[in-house]
Amino acid sequence: MPIVLFLLMNIAVANELAGEKSPYLLQHKDNPVAWQPWGEKAFAQAGREGKPVFLSIGYSTCHWCHVMAHESFEDAATAKLMNEHFINIKVDREERPDVDRVYMAYVQATTGSGGWPMSVWLTPEGKPFFGGTYFPPETRYGRMGFPEILQKIADVWQHDRARIEEEGQRVVAMLQESSVAEAPGSVDADVATRAATAFARSFDKDLGGFGGAPKFPRPSVFNFLVRQDSASQAMVFKTLREMTWGGMRDQLGGGYHRYSVDEFWHVPHFEKMLYDQAQITVALVEAWQITKDAFFAEAARSTLDYVMRDLRHPDGGFFSAEDADSLLAHGSKDHAEGAFYVWDLTEIRDALDKQAAEIFCFHYFVKPNGNAPEGSDPHQEFTGKNILKSRASHAETASYFEKSEREIVDSLAASEAILLTRRAKRPRPHLDDKILTAWNGLMISAFAKAGAALREPRYLAAAHKAADFLRAHLMNSDGLLRSWREGPSAIPGFAEDYAFVIQGFLDLYEADFRLEDLEQAISLQGQQDTAFWDEIGGSYFSSRDGDKLLPVRMKEDYDGAEPSSNSVSALNLIRLSRLLHNDAFSTKARRILASHAATLTQNPTTVPQMLVAWDLANRAPSQAIVVGSRTDAEKLLRTMQESFRPDAATIFLDSKEATAFFSKNAPEVGTMSMLNGEATLYLCENFSCQKPVTQFLPK
């Protein structure tokens, strides 16, 4: 074979992922598959060579992504098929949510379900014509094996390409039609009541959560329900308690796993996502504000402490996730889900003295043969292993052992510290150490809200440091960037990045009242409007205009594991309107709500975060304006921040600059002053203020 031809053949099958920043893409850099990153180069090659594109989308902590990689992408014979017949593109869904969103919509529409890894075949123009999620390496349970699918698609492409391209065109037309905004409409006045009733029907009264197994935390549901009546709030409190008592929570290290495979919140999928830690923390803080139950405050603290310990870059940004899988032992090639977290009885007895072990094992439901409930461990991964969960309160454990509650608390704390130290010597799960702008926005909100409500200065400091990281590394003159890992990516921010970061800066302002944070939110809101606003449809596109590789520019309103950018943006705009006395913001928020009126009215349980915005938009504007120095106002602000006040915007006039800023659109603010030299509160509704007072009395 001529050397030039040999070299050209090897160039053609080169894996091009080694130079990428994404941990997910780097996990695949040594595959024999000729992977390319998403970009014009790959599609141009597909066009030149007349080959379809195989698009594989996942993320670095995805369990089934690992499985398919090991079974198929690491297999030389399968890779040969892929390289011969397809141009192969690998995408990290967390880096490119725009790509993921388009092709997930296609997979869900054509198969009835979705998930990751996502596998989609495209024409060289990016039009999808076949797709699914995980495919096994051979036919199983009636599902065709991945190599067989590859061969069949290659054959059809070769012999009936025109039909495939026609199908791709039809699919794109379908997606484009579904992405067109509905005509503006009105929302039924009883929509919140209907949504709360629907959630109540699916609520598990015994175990918490909504629906059966698997049970996912969906914090936007919590956000909506705690703003309704006491019965709705009770569903949230029950769910948070059961999640926190169960194996869903890392009982030793803090933080919450992704979801529970069973209805008991006992056996989790052990992945830990940053966005879950952020949103669940906010729910816990609000539960504490309403109930003043220390249980919720301690759960929030342990979650934030975990994030600060294990998910924080030294410069203040927060990493994305920890994997569910880890090696069974140092030096071993074998790995398993949950290996880092589970215990056998012998390990615990070896680590603790006899009485401490008895107390620990009783409290955390440890059994000699393992404690996974029947039916919760179909693959027998946890035989003989214990997933720690609280079986009793401290008071109940104290009663069982005839000891004081203080003795039990101290014993458990000492045992937990010993076991946490031992656990730290195990091989850790893979850390996805990219820093995503959107998720950091959510985390800033969590640290800010917890810092203010729980009076924890270190949490406020963490929020400020993360905000400074975003300013330094993920903002430039053009706006936000999507991600950072050993340097910023070249990917511009998406609508969700703007929405979540604006929310973070608003929460940071109302936690610590630094004017620069509010000014940052206002600036980012203007950039979001310029890049994503649809003046015709009246809401935000998820991605920027002008991306020639994407066949459809999508909009989103579904509030799933993360809330949608339109839901959060609507709420941001209402908050800005009330902080700044500027109706232009609330007008834009109402356009978003009108644009999504059909979804709000017909399927309100799919958009609980948008219902929060709708509910606030239909309440009279409310402001709490505090005048005074920080020292003088400390007690007044503390009482307010410890209270659950979701309807009121809080403004702090602690300087001439702040007074001048807030009086631009409301001259009366400039006349507000302290009473008798004390920090003073003005409570205003519909821009009409009550008589000033020097103390806040929670309702």
Q: Give tens-digit pLDDT for 458-468.
A: 999 999 999 99
Residue 698 lies inside a defined structural domain of this protein: no
Ranges of residues in the chain whose predicted pLDDT is under 70: 1-13, 141, 179-182
Whether 648 and 594 share a structural domain: no
Whether 263 and 358 share a structural domain: no
Whether 207 and 80 share a structural domain: no
Helices (H), 203-344: 219-225, 230-245, 274-291, 294-310
Dist CA 681 CA 578 (whole Å): 17
Whether 9 and 103 share a structural domain: yes
Residue type, 152: K
Which domain covers residue 52, as residue numbers? 3-179
Q: Identify the sign of the CA torsion 192, 609, 530, 477.
A: positive
Final residue of a structural domain among 567, 584, 617 = 617
Whether 418 and 441 share a structural domain: no
Residue 335 lies inside a defined structural domain of this protein: no
List, as one string, the DSSP characters of 271-295.
-EEHHHHHHHHHHHHHHHHHH--HH
Residue 336 lies inside a defined structural domain of this protein: no
**What 3-state class would DSSP assign to 248?**
coil
Whether 317 and 367 share a structural domain: no
The domain that contains 517 carries what CATH number?
A: 1.50.10.10
Question: What is the pTM assigned to this prediction?
Answer: 0.95
The total number of structural domains that make up the chain: 4
Whether 12 and 41 share a structural domain: yes
Residue 571 lies inside a defined structural domain of this protein: yes
Final residue of a structural domain among 584, 617, 650 = 617
Residue type, 679: A
Residue 476 lies inside a defined structural domain of this protein: yes
| pLDDT value at residue 376 | 84
Whether 11 and 122 share a structural domain: yes
Residue 280 lies inside a defined structural domain of this protein: yes
- For residues 164 and 123, the answer to whether their CB atoms sit within 8 Å is yes
Dist CA 411 CA 426 (whole Å): 24
- Sheet with 321-322: strands ordered across: 272-273, 321-322, 431-432
Dist CA 78 CA 34 (whole Å): 12
| pLDDT value at residue 167 | 87
Residue 499 lies inside a defined structural domain of this protein: yes
Whether 43 and 173 share a structural domain: yes
Whether 613 and 552 share a structural domain: yes
What's the length of the chain? 699
- For residues 360 and 412, the answer to whether their CB atoms sit within 8 Å is yes
Whether 363 and 438 share a structural domain: no
The residue to which tokens 């519909």 are assigned: 686
What are the tokens at 149? Answer: 């699918």
The pairing of strands 53-58 and 87-92 is parallel
Give 292's contacts (C-beta < 8 A, 6+ positions apart): none
Dist CA 527 CA 525 (whole Å): 5
**What 3-state class would DSSP assign to 165?**
helix
The domain that contains 143 carries what CATH number?
A: 3.40.30.10
Dist CA 220 CA 207 (whole Å): 19
Whether 72 and 16 share a structural domain: yes
Residue 587 lies inside a defined structural domain of this protein: yes
Give 413's contacts (C-beta < 8 A, 6+ positions apart): none
What are the tokens at 426? Answer: 């195990």
DSSP 8-state secondary structure symbol assigned to residue 391: -
CB atoms < 10 A from the CB of 144, how many?
Answer: 14
Dist CA 527 CA 539 (whole Å): 14
Give 617's contacts (C-beta < 8 A, 6+ positions apart): 570, 574, 586, 589, 590, 593
Final residue of a structural domain among 560, 588, 617 = 617
Q: What are phi and psi of 217, to 5 degrees?
A: -70, 135
Residue type, 16: E
